[in-house]
């Protein structure tokens, strides 16, 4: 059975994170939404129903019987069972939105659906970027159970200090932790394969450190924090998500934020996550093209892929950074930094596309990942369109 992961109406609401990916490829908890559903449904036959310009990289659905699924929620056991038992032409609806359906993609149409069942249970649903860090504790708990049930963790080295219950700590094969403090009293901690927690780190859960990622010497990590694969994180972070392949390797503070892939924070970059007047934070909304009240007192930076900050960069509370932006001028840049900005300020010139390719190729080569023609086509589309 083909899984068709649909962006539904949510793709625009997650910009700038989704300029370069479908909603299903965002990370929250330990896994991406796509990885989570593949694990739940024990199915790796995956395709994506997303923006046309992304379909070159993210496989189009084939014309066959499929499970059409909106991925950006955490299901209950009952919902999972209902999804597995769907028959052809049946669908599940939550808050008047279709979230799962058994249909044939050859004649894709909601008119195929003959029976809709309303879900009455309250679900953890992710509808905007700030939801990713707001509900990250719940996602970490969900994924921890999904990934570790019936398995045995590696032992924690005796050089470390530990607080909490050992059942809330899971260390994958090849991971290293020495001379650090680990506290699971406030949440679970998951350390991925071949990850490293260097000496002097202080971890206070819930935390997920992805495969082949590192917490640098003396890092202070407050939950709920998710670091994806192949990242380096140092300094102080609190309640952030990094999708993967990005570095915040030095001192400086980032809190209540979501960072894409292939980003880099220069030494002593700091992001405010609380206004001086303790008021609600406003964030730019790409759909309404206006700054809107998040209802949150704490919100830092939402950063698209391939963006960079120079040393000593200062980011305002509630800053949106687009794709392939370079922030290096003195002073606080504005709360909306455009895609391919060269400098970070309004009306700065754009980073040239061929130079953006060149930098991306160099950065990705360090992780032995190629910049493909599909990647270039996505960046070109964003450059020319947005």
CB–CB of 313/330 below 8 Å?
no
Q: What is the dihedral of CA 146, 147, 151, 152, to 10 degrees?
A: -130
**What CATH number corresponds to the domain at position 380?**
2.160.10.10
Among 93, 127, 161, the domain-final residue is 127
- Cis peptide upstream of residue 176 (ω within 30 degrees of 0): no
The pLDDT assigned to 108 comes to 77
CB–CB of 306/264 below 8 Å?
no
Identify the residue whose tokens are 């093209």. Answer: 289
Task: Judge if 78 and 146 occupy the same domain.
Answer: no
Report how far residue 216's alpha carbon sits from residue 234's, in angstroms, rounded to the nearest whole number.
5
Q: 31 forms bridges with which residues in the sheet?
A: 28
Task: Judge if 165 and 225 occupy the same domain.
Answer: yes
Q: Is the dihedral of CA 371, 373, 379, 383 positive or negative?
A: positive
Neighbours of 81 (CB within 10 A): 10
Task: Judge if 170 and 46 occupy the same domain.
Answer: no
Tens digits of pLDDT across the chain (386 residues): 899 999 988 999 999 999 999 999 999 999 999 999 999 999 999 999 999 999 999 999 999 999 999 999 999 999 999 999 999 999 999 998 999 999 998 877 777 788 889 999 999 999 999 999 999 999 999 999 999 999 999 999 999 999 999 999 999 999 999 999 999 999 999 999 999 999 999 999 999 999 999 999 999 999 999 999 999 999 999 999 999 999 999 999 999 999 999 999 999 999 999 999 999 999 999 999 999 999 999 999 999 999 999 999 999 999 999 999 999 999 999 999 999 999 999 989 999 999 999 999 999 999 999 999 999 999 999 999 99
Task: Judge if 107 and 148 occupy the same domain.
Answer: no
With CA atoms as reference, report the closest residue to 224 among 143, 159, 293: 143
Task: Judge if 104 and 227 occupy the same domain.
Answer: no
Task: Judge if 177 and 252 occupy the same domain.
Answer: yes
Quote the domain boundaries for residue 108.
2-127
Task: Judge if 68 and 153 occupy the same domain.
Answer: no
Burial of 171 from C-beta contacts in 10 A (0-12 / 13-18 / 19+): buried
The pLDDT assigned to 113 comes to 85
Task: Judge if 113 and 211 occupy the same domain.
Answer: no
Number of domains in the chain: 2
State the SS3 of 17-33: HHHHCCHHHCEECCEEH
**What CATH number corresponds to the domain at position 70?**
3.90.550
Report how far residue 243's alpha carbon sits from residue 260's, in angstroms, rounded to the nearest whole number.
5
Task: Judge if 175 and 67 occupy the same domain.
Answer: no
Task: Judge if 120 and 148 occupy the same domain.
Answer: no
CB–CB of 84/44 below 8 Å?
no
Task: Judge if 99 and 205 occupy the same domain.
Answer: no
DSSP 325-357: -EE-SSSPPPSEE-TTBEESSTTPPBPPHHHHH
**Helix (H/G/I), strand (E/B), else coil: 197:** strand
Among 127, 142, 169, the domain-final residue is 127
Task: Judge if 183 and 81 occupy the same domain.
Answer: no
The pLDDT assigned to 379 comes to 98
Among 107, 127, 147, the domain-final residue is 127
Neighbours of 224 (CB within 10 A): 26
CB–CB of 229/105 below 8 Å?
no
């Amino acid at each position: 059975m083909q899984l068709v992961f649909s962006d539904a109406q949510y793709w625009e609401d997650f910009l700038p994170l989704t300029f370069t990916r479908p909603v299903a490829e965002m990370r929250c908890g330990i896994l991406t939404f796509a990885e989570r559903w593949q694990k739940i449904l024990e199915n790796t036959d995956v395709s994506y129903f997303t923006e046309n310009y992304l379909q070159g990289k993210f496989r189009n659905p084939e014309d066959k019987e499929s499970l059409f699924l909106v991925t950006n929620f955490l299901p209950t056991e009952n919902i999972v069972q209902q999804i597995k038992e769907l028959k052809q032409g049946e669908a599940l609806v939550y808050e008047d939105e279709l979230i799962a359906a058994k249909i044939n993609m050859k004649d894709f149409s909601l008119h195929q659906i003959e029976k809709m069942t309303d879900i009455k249970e309250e679900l953890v649903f992710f509808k905007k970027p700030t939801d990713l860090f707001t509900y990250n504790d719940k996602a970490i708990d969900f994924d921890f159970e999904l990934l570790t049930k019936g398995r045995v963790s590696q032992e924690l080295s005796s050089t470390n200090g530990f607080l909490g219950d050992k059942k809330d700590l899971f260390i994958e094969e090849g991971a290293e932790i020495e001379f650090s403090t680990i506290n699971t009293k406030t949440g679970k901690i998951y350390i991925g394969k071949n990850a490293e927690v260097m000496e002097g780190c202080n971890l206070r859960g819930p935390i997920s450190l992805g495969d082949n990622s590192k917490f640098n010497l003396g890092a202070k990590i407050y939950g709920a924090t998710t670091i994806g694969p192949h990242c380096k994180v140092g300094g102080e972070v609190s309640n952030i998500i990094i999708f993967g392949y990005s570095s915040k390797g030095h001192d400086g503070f980032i809190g209540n934020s979501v960072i894409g892939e292939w980003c880099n924070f220069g030494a002593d970059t700091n992001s405010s996550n609380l206004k001086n007047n303790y008021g609600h934070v406003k964030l730019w909304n790409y759909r309404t093209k206006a700054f809107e009240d998040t209802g949150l007192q704490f919100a830092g930076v939402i950063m698209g892929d391939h963006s960079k900050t120079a040393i000593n960069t200062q980011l305002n509370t509630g800053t949106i950074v687009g794709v392939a932006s370079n922030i290096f001028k003195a002073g606080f840049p504005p709360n909306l930094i455009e895609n391919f900005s060269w400098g970070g300020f309004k009306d700065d010139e754009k980073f040239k596309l061929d130079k953006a390719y060149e930098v991306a190729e160099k950065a990705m080569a360090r992780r032995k990942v190629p910049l493909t023609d599909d990647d270039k086509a996505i960046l070109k589309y964003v450059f020319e369109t947005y």
